Amino acid sequence: MKIVAVEPIPVTYPEPNDFNAYRHLCLVKVTADDGQVGWGESITMWPEASRATAAVIEGLAELIIGKDPVSNDALYRAMKNHTWWYGYEGGIASYAISALDIAIWDLKGKALNTSVTKLLGGPVHDRLPGIASCHAHHAEIPAMCEETLEWLSTGLQGIKTGFGKRGDAHLGYEHDRDVEYVRAMREAIGPDRQLMIDMGIKIRWDVTTAVRRCEAFDEYDLNWIEEPLGAWDPEGYRTLRDKTSTLIAYGEREWTLQGFERLLATGTVDVIGCDPGRAEGITGFKKMSERVEFYRRQANAHAWSSAIVSAASLAVSFSSSACTLFEFKPLRN
């Protein structure tokens, strides 16, 4: 089998889990000489990033056309080596590599008639609990609890709520309201289901605020709190980690293995978030998760775009002992 064509496809779509706000991603279609197709995706978020990613994909296509997708490690290394100047620390180059790497794995699985999970060494979990990864929608806390229970009635085992998002929830801004939300949600879902909070980009807590919130949340047994101090604040996170029993998650804004390694080396993170559609695909996630296992931390595969990244995230989650759950968007695209 040889790759004969590479086609980037920027996509814009309304996201029902975010009040139908338009979101952007860049798909890639990789075609082999026998007509089989591999699909990949990068979660670019903005239209200009999609266009730039498409341009880089077109440039990288020259490296993989004529090559065998079964040799995916060699193709990944070729793309990394080629982007040494403009992609050493990630950025648009990592978006492009992510999409192409996922598509190449997909095509490899089709060539060998086996699942990507098996290609990664096989599943290390018989099952993983699925949780609803959502944005809070309502002004009234009881209404948010009721909505969550509807999602959990489908078999999901927990919820991760985004604070500071669109809508009327107004979470992340007022101490008492935030604590009441966590208390009410824990009471509604019970002690055995998982409950997480994810700080949106609009939330600007300082260390004092984060410590006060987390100390108040400790009573309600959060499974983790995500990015309470943003993407990079080792000293702040060290202080926070000393003050709370809640696990701290961050890392989804990293791109490369060296970025994740720096983060892990700080000793301030318990759960590493990683999106295969951003952090250099299935290969990038695999490399990252092996380091997370070494540090005895957890990894969490971000899957908040299309079914392509969701499928890639499922494959890497089931093949990594560092992964303990899987996030689903509760509303269908």
How much is the pLDDT for 242? 95
pLDDT at 42 over 80: yes
Is the Cβ–Cβ distance between 99 and 30 less than 8 Å? Answer: no
Which pLDDT score, from 0 to 100, does residue 103 have?
Answer: 99
In the prediction, which pLDDT does 304 show? 86
Partners of residue 249 on adjacent β-strands? 226, 271
* pLDDT: which is higher, 135 or 212: 212
Strand boundaries in the chain, DSSP class E:
3-15, 21-32, 37-42, 130-135, 158-163, 194-199, 224-226, 248-250, 271-274, 298-301, 326-328
Give the whole-angstrom CA distance, residue 1 versus residue 24: 32
**From CA 166, how far away is CA 202, in angstroms rounded?**
10
Confidence (pLDDT) at 113:
98
Helix, strand, or coil (residue 65) = coil
Residue reference for tokens 């992609």: 87
pLDDT, averaged across the chain: 96
pLDDT tens digits, one per residue of 203-234: 999 999 999 999 999 999 999 999 999 999 99
Q: What is the mean pLDDT of residues 18-22?
A: 88
Look-up: residue for tokens 């952007």? 24
Q: Quote the radius of gyration of the chain (alpha carbons, Å).
A: 20
What percent of the chain is modeled with pLDDT above 70? 99
The per-residue pLDDT for range 107-120, each reduced to its tens digit, is 999 999 999 999 99
Residue with token string 């003050």:
243
pLDDT value of residue 302 = 87
Q: What is the pLDDT of residues 223-281, one digit of tens each?
A: 999 999 999 999 999 999 999 999 999 999 999 999 999 999 999 999 999 999 999 99
78-105 confidence digits (pLDDT tens): 999 999 999 999 999 999 999 999 999 9
Non-local (6+) Cβ contacts of 128 within 8 A are 317, 318, 323, 324, 325, 326
Question: How many separate helices (H) and strands (E) can be counted in the chain?
Answer: 11, 11
Q: What is the pTM of this model?
A: 0.96
Burial 2-27 (b: 16+ CB within 10 A, else e): ebeebebebeeeebebbeeeebbbbb
Q: Is the pLDDT of residue 295 over 90?
A: yes
Domains contained in the chain, CATH given: 3-114 (3.30.390.10), 119-328 (3.20.20.120)
Determine the pLDDT at residue 50: 98
Q: How confident is the model at residue 333 (pLDDT cuts 50, 70, 90)?
A: low
How many whole angstroms separate alpha carbon 63 and alpha carbon 67? Answer: 8
